[in-house]
């Protein structure tokens, strides 16, 4: 199997990469971890004339906790995030989610930021970005801007990034101290993309009721989904069966899953409601223990 012909550039700085992208614009694709792009090239589903490989821009390989954020550089591999003690301590839901990304060989190459701007709606990283109300920092010819997740994802595999812009960093706001969390996924096989994945974040009051709850779903439409009505229903509630049943209904209303070879839309809708309840309970359990593991 051979990918189509392309011209290859391996810039060593962000400026150089952006210059290449503005010169070649729509003809170019950015190559980071390559775990989604290279299969598409091998299968000739993508035929870019130019590849701009950012793997030589070493300054983009970092994780930093700063200004209440976890900043993940564009060359931070999934594996780096999986193993970083600061991720385990400050954003454990991200660490749990990243373990669901492919397999170790994929995680050794694939990047968190690349997964996000690839915008596969059944991928785990975009759902975590939405859960934490994160953003992606991009650099283009006219400078740097942060794109909040709500403005980033348009539909399947489509974002608002310009063809001359490079995503240089993903910014995950740190969850509030003591927040409980959960990430659950149903997939056909271990390491597959999610049929449905649900991430939850819960803070609890002293009586064990929900102060604030967030839910984020993958695999249920063209973009990650935050079911706002379901989240609003949870405020001030204990997680009793009737509350969770109402939340499950609200989740199912908020999504527009499609049928494909892996699962029907009806099945995905059903699973989304079930997983939301389970994830909320697991998150609440952690919140009661003060957000510990």
Give yes or no for residue 34 binding another protein (CB under 8 A): yes
Give yes or no for residue 89 binding another protein (CB under 8 A): no
Give yes or no for residue 7 binding another protein (CB under 8 A): yes
Number of C-beta neighbours around residue 290 at 10 A:
11
* Site of tokens 């405020």: 235
Answer for which of 17, 21, 28, 51 binds another protein (CB under 8 A) is 51
Size of the site for another protein (CB under 8 A): 30
CA–CA gap between residue 93 and residue 89 (Å, rounded): 10
Answer for which of 13, 55, 61, 237 binds another protein (CB under 8 A) is 55
- In terms of CB distance, is 103 or 145 closer to another protein? 103
Beta-strand (E) ranges in the chain?
Answer: 7-9, 28-31, 50-53, 63-66, 69-73, 135-140, 143-148, 153-155, 158-159, 166-173, 180-186, 196-204, 210-218
- Per CB under 8 A, the segment of 38-46, 155-163, 200-208, 265-273 that binds another protein is 38-46
3-state secondary structure 137-177: EEEECCEEEEEEHHHHEEECCEECCCCCCEEEEEEEECCCC
Answer for which of 26, 49, 253, 260 binds another protein (CB under 8 A) is 49
Find residue 184's DSSP bridge partners: 198
- Per CB under 8 A, the segment of 103-111, 151-159, 232-240, 248-256 that binds another protein is 103-111
Tokens of 58: 């070493």
Least separation, in Å, of the C-beta of 292 and another protein?
A: 23
Give yes or no for residue 104 binding another protein (CB under 8 A): yes
| Largest Cα span, the chain | 63
Q: Which residues of 84-119 are buried (b: 16+ CB within 10 A; e: fewer)?
A: beebeebbbbbbbbbbbbbeeebbebbbbbbbbbbb
- In terms of CB distance, is 77 or 214 closer to another protein? 77
Answer for which of 23, 25, 26, 42 binds another protein (CB under 8 A) is 42
- Per CB under 8 A, the segment of 35-43, 86-94, 224-232, 283-291 that binds another protein is 35-43
Number of C-beta neighbours around residue 55 at 10 A:
17
Least separation, in Å, of the C-beta of 78 and another protein?
A: 12
Give yes or no for residue 1 binding another protein (CB under 8 A): yes
Give yes or no for residue 85 binding another protein (CB under 8 A): no
Answer for which of 190, 240, 242, 261 binds another protein (CB under 8 A) is 190
Which residues in this chain contact another protein in the complex, by CB under 8 A? Answer: 1-8, 10, 34-35, 38-39, 41-43, 49, 51, 53, 55, 79, 102-106, 108-109, 190-191
């Amino acid at each position: 199997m051979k990918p189509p012909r392309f011209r290859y550039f391996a810039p060593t700085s962000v400026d150089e990469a952006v210059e290449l992208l503005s010169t070649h614009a729509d003809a170019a694709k950015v190559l980071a971890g390559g775990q989604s792009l290279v299969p598409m090239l091998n299968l000739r589903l993508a035929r870019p004339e130019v590849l701009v490989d950012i793997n030589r821009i070493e300054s983009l390989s970092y994780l930093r906790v700063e200004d209440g954020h976890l900043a993940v550089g564009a060359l931070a591999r999934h594996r780096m995030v999986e193993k970083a003690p600061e991720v385990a301590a400050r954003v454990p839901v991200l660490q749990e989610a990243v373990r669901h990304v492919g397999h170790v060989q994929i995680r050794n190459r694939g990047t968190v930021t690349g997964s996000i701007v690839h915008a596969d709606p059944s991928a785990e990283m975009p759902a975590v970005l939405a859960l934490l109300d994160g953003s992606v920092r991009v650099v283009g010819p006219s400078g740097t801007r942060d794109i909040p997740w709500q403005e980033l994802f348009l539909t399947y595999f489509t974002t608002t990034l310009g063809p001359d812009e490079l995503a240089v960093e993903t910014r995950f706001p740190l969850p509030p101290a003591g927040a409980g969390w959960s990430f659950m996924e149903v997939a056909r096989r271990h390491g597959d993309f999610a049929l449905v994945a649900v991430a939850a974040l819960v803070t609890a009051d002293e009586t064990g009721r929900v102060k604030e709850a967030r839910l984020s779903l993958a695999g249920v439409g063209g973009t990650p989904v935050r079911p706002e009505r379901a989240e609003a229903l949870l405020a001030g509630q204990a997680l009793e069966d009737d509350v969770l049943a109402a939340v499950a209904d609200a989740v199912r209303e908020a999504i527009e899953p499609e049928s494909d070879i892996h699962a029907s839309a009806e099945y995905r809708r059903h699973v989304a409601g079930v997983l939301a309840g389970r994830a909320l309970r697991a998150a609440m359990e952690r919140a009661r223990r003060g957000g510990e593991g």
